[in-house]
Structure 1
């Protein structure tokens, strides 16, 4: 036990709490990396994209890893915007509006896209229309992805951003450079509040993002049967 812990006996518990919250943040980051790569596989396989897979940098900081995801999903959005623009150009205005109508049945939307998707992609798989409908004719590219990007940017800009991803193996003291006494107490309390604040939003954004991508991949698997 550090000497300062005799004066501030709650500090060890605070360090453990920071450890726990840090692991939760890493889990959310890891899930977002995994979901993004699943989406990249679908886009490359069915919409003719050439997106590179991403990898979590274990020797990097939280900010660096947040930036990797942000960069990847921004590229994904640009690719989907190209598909959206092509659909808008090839479809009659009334048919294109149906794609954006949340009340329209998904099967009807897929039938609409199937009329022109091969013209856009050259040769299209049977699942390409369903993927286009799921991603272009929904709020995945706008609401869900934009929210994830916003939260990741906020985390990167916070005091958590400079913390290394792999600090757990080195001990929590490495995070705060063994700050002692009341200063450490304040720093730990500040860190806990920061983790808790960002994790609430990140968990929500990450879960919605992962769910949306799972729906896309499930649709592809159904179409491929």
Structure 2
């Protein structure tokens, strides 16, 4: 036990908390990267859009990894905006509104299918599900992007995510450069602030992408 631990007996517990919180951030980022790649694969398969897969870099900082996801989501949002504007022009306002809420009659569906085929050269049931989800859930992409920007500006953003694997002594040196109580508490507070918004936004983002993939699979099973 170090002299600092003798004078500040709560430090070992604080270190363990810091390690757990860093691991939680790492897990969230891994899942967000996976979900974003799954969304990109879905858009490529059913709408013909092509996006490069993204990879988490554990040697990079939290901010650098956030920037990678943000750039990819911005590319997706740009394509969504294009198809959204074109469909608004091609469809009657009430029909466009129904598309977002997936509340179409058979005749309505045929009209939307034809319009969709003219916009992105596809018009199957799965394509319809994807477009309806994108229109109705556009805020999901905006919210996760906004949250990532906040996390990238947080006190924990300059820490390399993979530092969690270095071991107790090295992680403390890498994260705060010291084992003094006040700096440990400051680091814990910064991690708490980063996780407060990031965790629920990440879970919602991941769940939404899982939802649309399940809906696509269900629609394809019905067709087949």
TM-score, length basis structure 2: 0.89
Distance (whole Å) between structure 2 residues aligned to residue 107 and residue 221 of structure 1: 21
The Cα shift of 1:112 comes to: 4.8
Contact 1:80-1:135 at 8 Å conserved across structures: yes
> CA-to-partner distance for each residue in 1:136-156, whole Å, 9 max, x for gaps?
1x1x222x2222112211111
Within the candidate set 193, 209, 212, 1:213 is matched to: 209
The answer to whether residue 92 in structure 2 is matched with residue 95 in structure 1 is: no
The answer to whether residue 170 in structure 2 is matched with residue 174 in structure 1 is: no
Counterpart residue number, 1:155: 151
Counterpart residue number, 2:47: 47
Distance (whole Å) between structure 1 residues aligned to residue 122 and residue 193 of structure 2: 47
Counterpart residue number, 1:114: 113
Counterpart residue number, 1:65: 65
1:114-133 superposed matches below 5 A: 114-133=113-132
Counterpart residue number, 2:17: 17
Distance (whole Å) between structure 2 residues aligned to residue 173 and residue 55 of structure 1: 26
> CA-to-partner distance for each residue in 1:150-204, whole Å, 9 max, x for gaps?
2211111111111011101223223235414xxx211111111121222121111
Paired residue secondary structure (1:59): coil
TM-score, length basis structure 1: 0.89
The Cα shift of 1:85 comes to: 1.1
> CA-to-partner distance for each residue in 1:83-142, whole Å, 9 max, x for gaps?
111111221233223334x5x626777555213111112244431111101111x1x222
Distance (whole Å) between structure 2 residues aligned to residue 77 and residue 127 of structure 1: 19
Distance (whole Å) between structure 1 residues aligned to residue 47 and residue 125 of structure 2: 11
Q: Which stretches in structure 2 are left out of the alignment for 5+ residues?
A: none
List structure 1 segments (4+ residues) > 4 angstroms apart after TM superposition.
106-112
Distance (whole Å) between structure 2 residues aligned to residue 215 and residue 15 of structure 1: 37
Contact 2:114-2:123 at 8 Å conserved across structures: no
Within the candidate set 113, 138, 150, 1:141 is matched to: 138
Distance (whole Å) between structure 2 residues aligned to residue 34 and residue 107 of structure 1: 35
Distance (whole Å) between structure 2 residues aligned to residue 62 and residue 29 of structure 1: 8
Within the candidate set 197, 220, 223, 2:219 is matched to: 223
